[in-house]
Structure 1
Amino acid sequence: MRRSLFVSILHDIQQVNEYLIQTCDATGALGLSSVQKMIVALWILQYGVPADSVDKYIRIGESTAIAALNFFTRSIVATYDAVYLRSPNEVDVARLLQEGEQRRSSLFAELTRGRAPTANYTINNHAYTMGYYLADGICPRWATIVKTISQPQDAKRQVFARMHEACRKDVERAFRVLQARFNIIRVLVKGWSDEDLYYIVKTCIILHNMIIEDERDILENERSAA
């Protein structure tokens, strides 16, 4: 991420968690800096290294590194969850449909509860007003879930299966991009509790979305200047 984004995130999470603010001990000696605490958390997330391996590089012990990661991930979720992990609104849907004109499927977190932003599109002369999930055979048979066709026989079903699986691969590739950015998602997770993993994964997704948004703003500004 860019330095400006790093500084912005650090400022925001300091407002919700005092642990991330540098303090002094009883003798007046300064403790670990806010930057050190955030860097050690990002180091563990990005490289997936054990907490006891960061002392050599960042001069923070194992227990402190674990505490820094836990405070960091919980602060990130508390600060940004409502913005970067919200369900897509109509503006988001319109943008996604415009960007992926040839790929008409979208994912909506609220579909399973019968709620979703309006998404108007037409397939085979049939008008639809709600998005849907692309899924494989293990998912339930719901109206908002579209599965591939197992062993398609005729040409029409073969085309459907091929296009369906191609779109599903787009989603899988997106998750691999997340894994590439945060190695902790792809390595063994021994030592982390279920609660820790919950916040770790959500933090990785939020940070990924923030970085993508920041990079998109850079490109838009460059195009405007041109």
Structure 2
Amino acid sequence: MEEDEDDHHRRRRASHSRRIMKVVGQIAKPRRAANINRIRKRRGLIPEPKIMAALRMLAYGASTDQVDEIARMGKTTVLESLMRFCSAIKTIYTNEYLRKPTPRDMRRILRKGEM
């Protein structure tokens, strides 16, 4: 009779423990937030890491292997970012800095050269 009581007590304790663990599991379980339609226009990586990858390659002479490990991008993405960055800089500054010198610019340059 005493064994039956002990057995009953153990089963009751185990069932209580299971219920507690179930409740704790429900509390601790990360809940998923409702889906919100954010209408994202850009897919893939945002521009900032791509620009940083291009700048690293230009500033430090880093290879694509080094940059893709740091930025966690593919080699082709890193190279494409570098090409786009360079073409954007060229487009922006060509008219001002890579134009043919005017006669006034030539006189200024020659004066500096004489000094």
TM-score by length of 2: 0.52
Aligned partner letter, 2:60: Y
Determine which structure has the larger strand proportion and give its number. 1
- Of 46, 65, 83, the residue aligned with 1:70 is 83
Asked whether 1:24 is paired with 2:37, we answer no
Structure 2 match to 1:37: 50
Aligned equivalents of 1:36 and 1:94: distance in 2?
44
CA offset at residue 43 of structure 1?
A: 1.5
Identical positions, percent: 36
Asked whether 1:50 is paired with 2:63, we answer yes
CA offset at residue 87 of structure 1?
A: 1.3
Aligned partner letter, 1:95: R
In the alignment of these two chains, the number of paired residues is 75
Q: What runs of 5+ residues in structure 1 fail to find an aligned partner?
A: 1-22, 26-30, 103-226
RMSD value over aligned CA atoms? 2.1
CA contact (8 A) 1:40 1:65 kept: yes
Aligned partner letter, 2:42: C
Aligned partner letter, 2:86: T
CA offset at residue 67 of structure 1?
A: 1.0
CA offset at residue 90 of structure 1?
A: 2.1
CA contact (8 A) 1:54 1:61 kept: no
Between Structure 1 and Structure 2, whose CA radius of gyration is higher? 2
CA offset at residue 33 of structure 1?
A: 2.9
Deviations 1:154-210 (A, max 9, x none): xxxxxxxxxxxxxxxxxxxxxxxxxxxxxxxxxxxxxxxxxxxxxxxxxxxxxxxxx
Determine which structure has the larger helix proportion and give its number. 2
State the structure with bigger RCO (CA 8 A, min sep 6), 1 or 2.
Answer: 1
